[in-house]
Amino acid sequence: MLKCKNISFQYNRSTWLFRNVNFALERGEIVGMFGKSGSGKTTLAKIMANYLSPAEGEVIIDGEKSVFPKVYPVQLIWQHPEQAINPKWKLSETIEEVEELDKEIIDILGIKREWFNRRPHELSGGELQRFCIARAFHPDTRYIIADEITSMFDAITQAQIWHALIRLVKERNIGVLAISHHISLLERISDRIIDFNQLKSCPM
């Protein structure tokens, strides 16, 4: 279980962005999250994936509070793939960062072999996002946070990407937090849906 326990955060010392957020995600479960723009969803995602430290509270991963070596078990996929990938590297180099990347992941995500020899600007956003998703599937990944990962794509690409992702996470028993403003998308993909604004004031 990935557990946020009494998490509070502030970007500047005078105001709290949120206080005492409690939330838990099981492995193999897909939880949808929506909430007002600017309320702090991406900030919470960064805390859960260890990009930011909370001011108060803690993130507990399968009962452990310790720092994990090498690959963090919570992987964050960002909205804009072009900002998450080294623009100078060929995609083959980006993907080499993941040891033992399964051929199955590449195939299920519909990544074509010829794309590997290209650099990020030579792929479409949807094609590039598939690489970012593939990269999140490290053998040590236990949870994935998908922060608006398909909001810039057309409906067919959105459906293809989510179909592939859901198949992979269910096979690997990975828990997913899917953040989106598109409630209809969350209703299609999630096992349960939560409102971040209610989470802010909900004791556990």
* Max Cα-Cα span within the chain: 51
- What's the min distance (Å) between Cβ of 44 and ligand ATP? 7
- What's the min distance (Å) between Cβ of 50 and ligand ATP? 16
39 contacts which partner out of Mg ion, ligand ATP, none, CB within 5 to 8 A by kind? Answer: ligand ATP
Q: Does 51 bind ligand ATP (CB under 6 A)?
A: no
Q: Does 11 bind ligand ATP (CB under 6 A)?
A: yes
Report the alpha-carbon distance of residue 22 to residue 6 in Å, rounded: 5
- DSSP-derived letter for residue 15 is B
- DSSP-derived letter for residue 12 is B
Interface with ligand ATP (CB under 6 A), residue from 20, 42, 141, 157: 42
CB 129 within 8 A of CB 115: no
Q: What are phi and psi of 134, to 5 degrees?
A: -60, -40
CB 62 within 8 A of CB 109: no
Enumerate the β-bridge partners of residue 59.
4
Instruction: Indicate the SS3 state at residue 63.
Output: coil
Q: Does 15 bind ligand ATP (CB under 6 A)?
A: no
Binding mask 30-69 for Mg ion (x = CB under 5 A): -----------xx---------------------------
Q: Does 54 bind ligand ATP (CB under 6 A)?
A: no
- What's the min distance (Å) between Cβ of 73 and ligand ATP? 22
Interface with ligand ATP (CB under 6 A), residue from 13, 14, 15, 37: 37
Pairing of strands 2-9, 18-25: antiparallel
Which residues are near ligand ATP by CB under 6 A? 11, 17, 35, 37-43
